[in-house]
Structure 1
Amino acid sequence: MFATDRAMPVPELAVEAEQRGFTSLYVPEHTHIPVSRATPPPTGDTVLPEEYSRTLDPLIALAAAASVTSRITLGTGVCLIAEREPIVTAKAVATLDLLSGGRVALGVGFGWNREEAADHGVLWKSRRDRAREHVLAMRALWTTEEASYEGEHVRFAPSWAWPKPARRVPVLLGGAAGPTLFRHVAEYGDGWLPIGGAGIREALPALRDACARAGRDPVPVIPFGTEPTPAKLDYYASLGIEEVVLRVPSGPRDQVLPVLDTYAETYVTARADRTP
């Protein structure tokens, strides 16, 4: 759900989703939306939908959700990691994962809004390299007792940083299929989040080849923000896809819960009944 100050509260949605048997909940990120923008809306709309400028901080929202749930995975979809200071973000993610009992999935992306990135001091052409270094530096802080990193965008001397996550936090990269994205996924990602899911079948060989060249097994593919149909989910299953993130409206409870109920009845319960 596009979590905003006008939408169903994230903790309430997490409880309702967990009770209905869903396995994960993802929320997006925008720190702010500059009023005067040259960047066109990614939705194709003439005017950018208001929800983009009203998003909650995803890590704080998911921390609130963690406190009232016990099973559901809590994910960012996606965190604009190039715009975040990596040492502080690493601690926030590690704390959330520790307190939630190892339930965080960190979906990251490179962004689409040039003006938003610029306000964070991010040169547009450097955002992918910056995001890569931020993730690698965070991984060092999560896994090494005396962590250090030396890069073009991130540098810190050997340092102690606790808490460590409860387990390895999966980093899932969002973005359109292509050699650059797949090279990043193969190097430092734990999965691919294709928005909408179009063109996955054609892209899978290139993703698998990138992983093989990096000496890795194929990574999971999780279609994201999907408007589901039974045929579409059967198609994804035929590709070996095991998880799909379904879109629910950004609105109050009386708009969200009927959609969640329909999804649960049509997809969660029905597919559980079909499982041998």
Structure 2
Amino acid sequence: MDLGLAVPQYGRFAAAGSLPAVARAAEELGFASLWAGDRLMTPLAPKDRYPGGDGSVPEAHRVFLDPFAVLSVAATATTSARLGTSALNACWYPPPVLARSLTTLDHLSGGRLVAGFGLGWSSDEYAAAGVPWKDRARRYEATLDALEAIWRDDPVAVEHELWTIAPSHIEPKPARRPPVYLAGFSEPALRRVGRRGDGWLTAALPLPALGAMWAAVRESAERAGRDPDALRMVLRSNPVVTGAGTPPRSGTVGQISAYLAAAAEAGVHEVILDLQHTATSDGHLLELAADFRARLTA
């Protein structure tokens, strides 16, 4: 199982000095990948429940840095770690703009991009971005189609009711077609992962639920004539480290590590540790990261 780390991006870690120092140290510790998320705002009276905890948006998310800028800084501080998005809200961005940002990151990092996408959960954020909440799944599929065309074709030509790309050169191309990981837990989302994703971005769920969803992804891949063994399951863990708790959401480093080890046995290929909800400083975050890595690679 590979280990990745969410780089400093939000809350107390949204600081110019934290990001390059932690990214560099994480690579030196042996973390295989570095990840950033995508939040736009924190509504005072949200229309939708946050998908975690008690349903309220974490206080730390009030300050949230742009994922493209964050990963660009991480790219300059590192040399080999993969750079992933977990996950971009793909529908917020016109496909050529999204492709340009992602391809630039891939180009400047020497081909280290992993493109992770999701539909998001907040209709307030969609409204602020000027994107309809209705029919967002259809827009999502069309966005993925357009990205594939931009990364593959030269010239590129896309004609769709949502946008038109006149026959054009869109360069540079990525060093190689980036792996595309898709998030989601609903039945349509899981089918989409199997049908067209290179991997599934999931959260730290109870293992029986995780196994059932992964089976649905694999079944969808088989129905689409794809090799299910070629897909990767990537689990994001956002634990609160306490003296005792209830893994996977909280607990000691040992308790949470035991859950993650069991998740690896259940088929997880990579874990993204996000320690920004529990660490109190850059040093503390790196101490926790080193402790988790030591336990999970022993």
Residues 1:80 and 2:92 aligned together: no
Pair 140,212 (structure 1): closer, same or farther in 2 beyond 3 Å: same
Counterpart for residue 139 of structure 2: 130
Separation in 1, partners of 2:51, 2:238:
16
Counterpart for residue 57 of structure 1: 66
Q: How big is the alpha-carbon RMSD for the aligned residues of Structure 1 and Structure 2?
A: 2.0
Counterpart for residue 224 of structure 1: 236
Residue identity (%):
34
Separation in 2, partners of 1:23, 1:79:
20
Structure 2: 5+ residue stretches without partners: 1-5, 240-247, 249-255
1:131-177 deviation per Cα after TM superposition (whole angstroms, max 9, x unaligned)? 2211221121111111122233232222110011111111111111x
CA displacement at 1:122 relative to structure 2: 2.2
Residues 1:89 and 2:98 aligned together: yes
CA displacement at 1:37 relative to structure 2: 2.5
CA displacement at 1:10 relative to structure 2: 2.5
Q: Which moved more, 1:123-132 or 1:222-231?
A: 222-231
Alignment of 1:92-131 (within 5 A): 92-131=101-140
Secondary structure of the residue that 1:30 maps to in structure 2? coil
Counterpart for residue 200 of structure 1: 210
Counterpart for residue 149 of structure 2: 140
- Contact 1:248–1:256, Cα closer than 8 Å, also in 2: yes
CA displacement at 1:120 relative to structure 2: 1.7
- Contact 1:174–1:195, Cα closer than 8 Å, also in 2: no
Separation in 2, partners of 1:46, 1:186:
28
Secondary structure of the residue that 1:34 maps to in structure 2? coil
Q: Which moved more, 1:93-102 or 1:152-161?
A: 152-161
Counterpart for residue 6 of structure 1: 12
- Contact 1:10–1:62, Cα closer than 8 Å, also in 2: no
Separation in 2, partners of 1:185, 1:148:
25
Return the match for 1:171 from 180, 187, 192: 180
Counterpart for residue 20 of structure 1: 29
Q: Which moved more, 1:28-37 or 1:161-170?
A: 28-37
Pair 245,43 (structure 1): closer, same or farther in 2 beyond 3 Å: same
TM-score w.r.t. structure 1 length?
A: 0.89
Secondary structure of the residue that 1:237 maps to in structure 2? helix
1:206-264 deviation per Cα after TM superposition (whole angstroms, max 9, x unaligned)? 21111111111112111112547343233233233321212212453133122112113
Secondary structure of the residue that 1:192 maps to in structure 2? strand
Say how many residue pairs are matched.
268
Pair 14,216 (structure 1): closer, same or farther in 2 beyond 3 Å: same
TM-score w.r.t. structure 2 length?
A: 0.83
Counterpart for residue 188 of structure 1: 196
- Contact 2:50–2:57, Cα closer than 8 Å, also in 1: yes
Return the match for 2:287 from 258, 266, 269: 258
Separation in 2, partners of 1:204, 1:138:
25
Structure 1: 5+ residue stretches without partners: 271-276
Q: Which moved more, 1:250-259 or 1:62-71?
A: 250-259
Pair 224,79 (structure 1): closer, same or farther in 2 beyond 3 Å: same
Q: Which moved more, 1:121-130 or 1:93-102?
A: 121-130
Counterpart for residue 273 of structure 1: none
